[in-house]
Structure 1
């Protein structure tokens, strides 16, 4: 199949894996949490897993879940599951209680493979799920103590000579996402979508066969699967994935594994920039880095490149669209989020669904130029699927505008906008201004309570260590840089911003639920007459 001028000979993950094993044999493909696997070992061991799963009597399309931190077994279960004609469900390792019970119940998983760290959380809700078989990455005695079988039993059977036929459109995984704005949604991505993500990886990074990728992203996250695994697999590279992220050891590990491509997404970039400078900052072999910087202080991307000597490929993407769909492809002429490079068609729509001209902010929708790139829908949720997939267009839930050259300027999530006295306000815009104020370490802006309806602007601020910040100073900083209606009314200092486990995104829903008692109130502390140019009074 011709994709963006390239011949893509594989339609399924099984075909891809078999071809790469035949080409590269015993060459190392992956090292995950210190355990290595070659191309041919990955093919053989995942075939064993497929046989072990089929021996359980599972029917085509049954779900197999994993619940663990990064480990080689997670990769083996993924490929074994899809090669058996089953559906893989990687669960967020941070799930507990209601969230875990909901995800297991919604997915209808018949088999669960867990590690010893995650197992206790599953056992707390096990009686409320319909699980067929439980496997634990542990020895037989430890597994038996929990009423489980050791993971090794899945690989212990004879090597199957034939496996069920699968198709490009068959599910490659159900990835649960969006837990910070409500119950998680199960995004069903086709097998071919993962292959396409690997092809886009090669384009974006201009990679060379034999290079090495380094990642600390969790393998239940689309980014880790599509960039940390599929990219190197499609592009004949090797990949090293650590169990957890460590800011203090990150570049030490980059040097140890001799990485050429890295992927420190989002807040990880900020954490790395805040590490003490070192003479070794530029002692590495990294050629390029993925850069997803939405919501970060605006100076972080340039500071990262300047300090570590690593250019960033800026991206825009979402799980429903098969990962990163727009990239700068290293030609960062501005601060845009990149161009589609032939992969998708973009439109910006107004509230009524009509296209907007370049330069005007609206709702971002996308249409794929290739089959089976986007999700087929949300698992067990046809109503929500119909809201997002309309006439071949994916409604992203994001806001942005297009430059004259077709590059996207991402503004933020629709859910991250506030409406105050008839005016729409971007939380990201206010956060960007506050983040530049001396003494501010992190900031999140959400809707605060209003006595007259709609929203008030509320800022949660994490101060730098030793900084002496007063709410009035922050408001004064904003008054010089924002329209009056955008200036925060409420300011609350907080030790740590709550974040999601999967993406380390700010959990705005948790912030909105916090009582407002501890917040400084500009309306109370600074009477309007004394503020001069602050917001006009509400119209009666």
Structure 2
């Protein structure tokens, strides 16, 4: 009896009772509250929460009729579309696990991800269906439904036969089952990749999504008249937690576009009445590079997510100055429950910091022996939750990788940073961003920060290149400004006096773009390190 009573104890966070523990419960509550009032616009379709609740119940009933049960996986391979959210909520109602696949997957990555997840059902749009068909003979059996108005396609997907339209899952007739789902039950697998290796599936429980929404309310200090405008993808935690769950918990409208457009962004922000946006990384650079106009501040946007670690600080400063929009800077990983686990509010006394955990987690900087390091010392960032079920449960089908990540009661991020004396976290780069040259440890991130200010340099990535003397030499891959032909010798000369001599790149290569991972669009430094040094500019050779 005691155990039963304990299991029904209502959860609280920061002393505040939690109203819902799962996404279906949250959707049902908002549907009862707002009825048919449109509160969610996805890829041009305005939906009420009642629409989302009713349609997801139809899909859940039909999937159950087809044999989908608790723990089965249901995958979506789509561009931003309403079917993402309908399928997600339907999976939750069945106790099944939703798997949104990166729309950039192709070939081996697509085969690996679908084979690992082994979904019972795959929902795919017409644009991406050809990629699935190209590898269908290497996929496990699964039912495939295509999002295509009024169409059905013929095709074999792992022996699945006819490929029906998604609309068949919306047909009435079956009764959805009643499945008890708790906050600790598995909800979503997000396939995430770093700088190396095939994608790995981070399994997030139901309450991790609700917790992310609660952090959204805190970090952005939401108000009743706020409107969120999102251009992030619905196959990543960023788009899902910021564009969907955050506004749903905050009880504000949200608009999610199909894709980001630099030339049309501010027009869309004005059309939607947005006050909160979620720009990240190079999106900020693209907007700063747009022609200036009298309407640069003719909008309601007051705050944006801040993911500025891979762009020059001057670009972020210029964005704030030009558009009058502040940043909530963050440090987040899918594994640590997604967005805003560390965040820096707009009124922070240290705007360059990534922020604090604000009671959601503990953070430490660890050395190679997992010992805490003093303030100001750079080491591996590690976190552990202060509440149950807000971090990932583990990597799907990868117990060894899970144990490696979660060793010694800390979640090891593989990222480097330091804590200052006031407990603010500063991210300095990934472990792969460090190299060792002739006995000196060099932060690629630090060298990149200096080189990014060199006239004529648009973007730069620094890696370690094998040295004939042992260890590594510094190699810079540079994308030049349009119409600029700055020479390697000019860049190297510009570095003198701006960084220690041992940090100045020996090799400089010009490229049109960098190789990027399909999951996070992160620069794949290991591929750059594999490129040969012949035919690239060599400072030591030039010096004789």
Fold conserved between structures, TM > 0.5: yes
Could you say what secondary structure the match of 1:252 adopts?
helix
Could you say what secondary structure the match of 1:432 adopts?
helix
Give the root-mean-square deviation of aligned CA atoms. 1.5
Does 273-282 or 473-482 show the bigger shift? Answer: 473-482
Partners of 1:53 and 1:270 in 2: how far apart? Answer: 43
- Residue 5 of structure 2: aligned partner: none
- Residue 214 of structure 2: aligned partner: 199
Q: Determine which of 66, 69, 72 is the counterpart of 2:79.
A: 69
- C-alpha contact (below 8 Å) 1:210/1:236 kept by paired residues: no
- C-alpha contact (below 8 Å) 2:467/2:473 kept by paired residues: yes
Partners of 1:17 and 1:239 in 2: how far apart? Answer: 14
- Residue 102 of structure 1: aligned partner: 112
Q: How many Å apart are 1:27 and its aligned residue?
A: 2.0
1:309-320 → structure 2 map (5 Å cutoff): 309-320=324-335
- Residue 344 of structure 2: aligned partner: 328
- Residue 376 of structure 2: aligned partner: 359
User: Compared with structure 1, are the counterparts of its residues 490 and 105 closer, same or farther at alpha carbon in structure 2 (3 Å cutoff)?
Assistant: same
1:186-225 → structure 2 map (5 Å cutoff): 186-225=201-240
Could you say what secondary structure the match of 2:292 adopts?
coil
**Residue deviations 1:214-266 (CA, integer Å, cap 9, x gap):** 11111111111111111001110111111111111111111111111000111
Q: How many Å apart are 1:502 and its aligned residue?
A: 4.3
Q: Determine which of 18, 21, 28 is the counterpart of 1:11.
A: 21
Q: Determine which of 159, 179, 196 is the counterpart of 1:181.
A: 196
Q: Determine which of 51, 57, 64 is the counterpart of 2:61.
A: 51
Could you say what secondary structure the match of 1:135 adopts?
strand
**Residue deviations 1:355-400 (CA, integer Å, cap 9, x gap):** 1111111111111111101101011101110011124311111111
Could you say what secondary structure the match of 2:183 adopts?
coil
Does 219-228 or 179-188 show the bigger shift? Answer: 179-188
Could you say what secondary structure the match of 1:93 adopts?
coil
Q: Does 1:503 align with 2:520?
A: yes
Q: How many Å apart are 1:59 and its aligned residue?
A: 3.0
- Residue 136 of structure 1: aligned partner: 146
Does 174-183 or 316-325 show the bigger shift? Answer: 174-183
- Residue 291 of structure 1: aligned partner: 306
- Residue 534 of structure 1: aligned partner: none
Q: Runs in 1 of length 4+ with deviation above 6 angstroms?
A: none
User: Compared with structure 1, are the counterparts of its residues 363 and 141 closer, same or farther at alpha carbon in structure 2 (3 Å cutoff)?
Assistant: closer
Partners of 1:106 and 1:314 in 2: how far apart? Answer: 34
Q: Determine which of 312, 315, 320 is the counterpart of 1:305.
A: 320
- Residue 530 of structure 1: aligned partner: none
- Residue 228 of structure 1: aligned partner: 243
- C-alpha contact (below 8 Å) 1:110/1:130 kept by paired residues: no
- Residue 537 of structure 1: aligned partner: none
Q: Give the aligned length.
A: 527
Could you say what secondary structure the match of 1:283 adopts?
coil
User: Compared with structure 1, are the counterparts of its residues 252 and 499 closer, same or farther at alpha carbon in structure 2 (3 Å cutoff)?
Assistant: farther
Q: Determine which of 468, 472, 490 is the counterpart of 1:473.
A: 490
User: Compared with structure 1, are the counterparts of its residues 102 and 170 closer, same or farther at alpha carbon in structure 2 (3 Å cutoff)?
Assistant: same
- Residue 266 of structure 2: aligned partner: 251
- C-alpha contact (below 8 Å) 2:61/2:177 kept by paired residues: no
Partners of 2:446 and 2:323 in 1: how far apart? Answer: 27
Partners of 2:314 and 2:513 in 1: how far apart? Answer: 21
Partners of 1:501 and 1:243 in 2: how far apart? Answer: 18
Q: Does 1:398 align with 2:415?
A: yes
- C-alpha contact (below 8 Å) 2:64/2:176 kept by paired residues: no
Q: Determine which of 414, 430, 433 is the counterpart of 1:416.
A: 433
- C-alpha contact (below 8 Å) 1:111/1:131 kept by paired residues: no
Q: Determine which of 464, 468, 473 is the counterpart of 1:447.
A: 464
Q: How many Å apart are 1:478 and its aligned residue?
A: 2.0
Could you say what secondary structure the match of 2:32 adopts?
helix
Q: Determine which of 78, 87, 91 is the counterpart of 2:88.
A: 78
Q: How many Å apart are 1:163 and its aligned residue?
A: 2.6
- Residue 136 of structure 2: aligned partner: 126
